[in-house]
Amino acid sequence: MNEALGAQIIDINMGCPAKKVCGKACGSALLKDEPLVAQLLEAVVRAVSVPVTLKIRTGWSPGSRNGAQIARIAESAGIQALAVHGRTREDFYTGDAEYETIREIKSLIRIPVFANGDIDSPEKARSVLDFTRADGVMLGRAAHGAPWIFRSVNSWLTTQKSIADLSRSEVRGIILSHLASLYAFYGEDTGVRFARKHLGWYFASMPDSTNTRASLMAEATTASQFAATREHLDRWVADESDGAPEVTASQVA
């Protein structure tokens, strides 16, 4: 069905650690059942003509870190690329991601491997790539409220040079464009609710963050939420031209 709707790839998520997901034997809970993983992957690969990719964690628990076995199963099933988060399901997002398992997986299979977990800067991306020898990195939480991080990472990885911070005006344009896209995609009721978490991330490091975010969370319609956001951002941009202390785009995360 997704291929018929125009999907260019099918990505299977066996990395989600959420209780409500794992409780239904989905997400990273599947890592506990290797025969079922093989069955599912083979069935999906057979069902579509577009590439099928997979995301996993390193295992269900530190005592059951079977990411390497799952990686072999994935390659044998016809998976075209594999993303690996450097934690087990039991780790959730606590502690530090470990990259040894990702390096082991990369040494065992021929398909592209993407390293994921705690990659929050261009320098960290470079060090993880160097250590794991992965084909690329995947960023998740680091992009919350700072989707421009990808331009910084890509610039560093390709040119070894840092890229200039976005101006406040450019950040304003990105945020307002993002809001408009959310509203268009999700509609009125879901759009205003879904936008709240993104606004919370965007405004987390801006001046008077607590009061600003509280006021934006209280807006009940997309029109009022957008207008309030634009008003706050307009003041923020004006403060820059008035010589107020700078808050760089990289800090708005």
Burial of 94 (0-12, 13-18, 19+ CB in 10 A): exposed
Rounded Cα–Cα distance for residues 27 and 105 (Å)? 19
142-145 contact pairs (CB < 8 A, 24+): 142/253, 144/198, 144/201, 144/253, 145/198, 145/200, 145/201, 145/202, 145/203, 145/204, 145/205, 145/252, 145/253
Q: At what angle do helices 67-77 and 100-108 cross, to 10 degrees?
A: 30
- Indicate if 26 belongs to the active site: no
Catalytic site residue from 16, 21, 38, 237 = 16
Structure token digits, residue 243: 């010589």
Q: What is the DSSP string of 187-249?
A: -HHHHHHHHHHHHHHHTTTSTTHHHHHHHHHH--SHHHHHHHHHHHHHHHHHHHHTTPPP--G
Q: At what angle do helices 34-47 and 67-77 cross, to 10 degrees?
A: 30
Residues classed as catalytic: 16
